[in-house]
């Protein structure tokens, strides 16, 4: 079997507006996501001799992995009956940090399996991704996208707003479910008519200069995440002091990101953040076409 490799870019929500709960228990969303250059790296190879099924190795991360669910879903949907494979994940995206690291890995596993199986149908991969989690479909193609519904209705965005990104991971983890529950407890979801108005404004912005230029950068989950993880406040203030144009919780948190001008001088920014633990990442928004996400063949390949 040919080995395949690809990247799994993290994402940031440039805006995340949360509306009423749907009949299926999920919230109606309007969000613009963009991939960032911070990424995991995945390889797909033949499983070791004697293996009875596919497996996923992710050193440093224990427990079930969504990438394994993605492989199983791909086989079930396509009938791919190749011998067992192994997916190895080099982890860089913060775990349970609100940057869709698990979802990005699952989407990358779908891309790898499709490459190995000779399947060239991105729309099929997005359909397979939908039951795996709200963020997985958007990460199949990656890039900048307007997502609606519970995250499954995707519209690629024409906007291009180059920015540098500082990622501040915290020594904590938050589950999305817990953050949404706290949002509901606080009555923080927007009524349907307000969400409809924001949907129109966000859609218009993404057809033009983008939500950053339109002043629509916001995260409705931020206050709930802050209530569950108070150290977030310190990280937000540090990013503002370092000159961030916007500082916000990424997704459901607790990772905090700061947006800076694309030509930022990194030295004073990093000096300002020197008191934070190791793990700070400097990245950039990738826009419409993140490089490296499509698999390339070859043992040891590095997109």
Average of per-residue pLDDT across 63-84: 96
Share in percent of the chain as helix, strand, coil (round to 5): 30, 25, 40
Q: Give phi and psi for 275, each to the nearest 5.
A: -80, -10
Q: What separation in angstroms does the CA of 114 have from each of 44, 77, 146, 155?
A: 11, 11, 25, 22
Per-residue pLDDT band at 259 (split at 50, 70, 90) = very high
State both tokens at 258: 């700061």
110-130 core/surface letters (b: 16 or more CB in 10 A; e: else): bbbbbbbeebeeeebbbebbb
Q: What separation in angstroms does the CA of 128 have from each of 9, 109, 124, 174?
A: 19, 12, 6, 26
Task: Flag whether pLDDT at 291 surpasses 70.
Answer: no
Q: Which of 11, 34, 54, 105 is catalytic?
A: 11
Express each pLDDT in 220-239 by its tens digit. Answer: 999 999 999 999 999 999 99
Helix (H, G, I), strand (E, B) or coil at 15: strand
Task: Flag whether pLDDT at 134 surpasses 90.
Answer: no
Per-residue pLDDT band at 12 (split at 50, 70, 90) = very high
H-only helix segments in the chain: 66-78, 101-117, 122-129, 136-141, 176-185, 192-206, 222-228, 232-241, 266-272
Q: Is 69 a catalytic residue?
A: no
Look at residue 293 in the predicted model and tell me its pLDDT: 84
State both tokens at 11: 């994402």
Look at residue 258 in the predicted model and tell me its pLDDT: 96
Contact between 132 and 27 (Cβ < 8 Å): no
Read off the DSSP letter of residue 190: P
Q: Is 91 a catalytic residue?
A: no
Look at residue 64 in the predicted model and tell me its pLDDT: 87
Task: Flag whether pLDDT at 127 surpasses 70.
Answer: yes
Average of per-residue pLDDT across 59-83: 95
Percent of the chain predicted with pLDDT > 90? 80
CA 113 from centroid of its chain's CA atoms: 20
Going by C-alpha positions, the residue among 178, 181, 218, 179 that lies closest to residue 198 is 218
What is the residue-wise DSSP string for 74-94? HHHHH---PPPEEEEEE--SP
Average of per-residue pLDDT across 86-105: 92
Per-residue pLDDT band at 278 (split at 50, 70, 90) = low
Average of per-residue pLDDT across 201-225: 97
Task: Flag whether pLDDT at 18 surpasses 90.
Answer: yes
Look at residue 148 in the predicted model and tell me its pLDDT: 95
Average of per-residue pLDDT across 267-272: 89
Task: Give CATH for domain 4-159.
Answer: 3.30.230.10
Look at residue 270 in the predicted model and tell me its pLDDT: 86
Task: Flag whether pLDDT at 178 surpasses 90.
Answer: yes
Q: What is the mean pLDDT of the chain?
A: 93
What is the residue-wise DSSP string for 28-47? EEEEEEEEEEEEEEEEEEEP
Task: Flag whether pLDDT at 51 surpasses 90.
Answer: yes
Look at residue 171 in the predicted model and tell me its pLDDT: 87
**pTM score:** 0.90
Percent of the chain predicted with pLDDT > 70? 98
69 forms beta bridges with none
281 forms beta bridges with 167
Terminal alpha carbon distance of the chain? 19
State both tokens at 32: 């613009």
Task: Flag whether pLDDT at 265 surpasses 70.
Answer: yes
| Rounded Cα distance, 244 and 264, in Å | 10
Task: Flag whether pLDDT at 118 surpasses 80.
Answer: yes
Contact between 136 and 106 (Cβ < 8 Å): yes
Task: Flag whether pLDDT at 277 surpasses 80.
Answer: no
Task: Flag whether pLDDT at 300 surpasses 80.
Answer: no
Q: Which of 105, 135, 171, 263 is catalytic?
A: 135
> Residue ranges per domain, the chain?
4-159
Read off the DSSP letter of residue 193: H
């Amino acid at each position: 079997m040919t080995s395949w490799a690809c990247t799994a870019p993290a994402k940031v929500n440039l805006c995340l507006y949360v509306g009423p709960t749907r009949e299926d228990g999920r919230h109606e969303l309007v969000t613009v996501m963009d991939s960032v250059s911070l990424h995991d790296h995945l390889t797909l190879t033949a499983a070791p001799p004697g293996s009875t099924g596919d497996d996923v190795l992710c050193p440093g991360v224990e427990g079930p992995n969504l990438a394994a669910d993605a492989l199983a879903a791909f086989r079930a949907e396509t009938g791919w009956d190749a011998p067992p494979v192994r997916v190895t994940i080099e982890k860089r995206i913060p775990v349970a940090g609100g940057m869709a690291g698990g979802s990005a890995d699952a989407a990358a596993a779908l891309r790898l399996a499709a490459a190995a199986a000779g399947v060239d149908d991105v729309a099929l991969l997005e359909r397979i991704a939908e039951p795996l989690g709200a963020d997985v479909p958007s990460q199949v193609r990656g890039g900048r996208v307007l997502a609606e519904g519970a995250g499954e209705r995707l519209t690629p965005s024409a906007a291009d707003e180059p920015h540098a990104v500082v990622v501040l991971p915290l020594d904590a983890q938050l589950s999305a479910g817990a953050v949404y529950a706290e949002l509901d407890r606080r009555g923080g979801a927007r009524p349907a008519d307000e969400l409809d108005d924001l949907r129109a404004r966000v859609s218009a912005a993404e057809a033009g200069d983008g939500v950053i230029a339109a002043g629509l950068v916001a995260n409705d989950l931020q206050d709930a995440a802050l209530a569950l993880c108070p150290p977030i406040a310190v990280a937000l203030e540090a990013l503002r002091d370092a000159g961030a144009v916007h500082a916000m919780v990424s997704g459901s948190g607790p990772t905090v990101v700061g947006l800076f001008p694309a030509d930022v001088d990194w030295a004073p920014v990093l000096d300002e953040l020197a008191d934070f633990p190791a793990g700070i990442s400097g990245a950039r928004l990738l826009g419409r076409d993140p490089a490296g996400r499509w698999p390339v063949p070859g043992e040891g390949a590095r997109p």
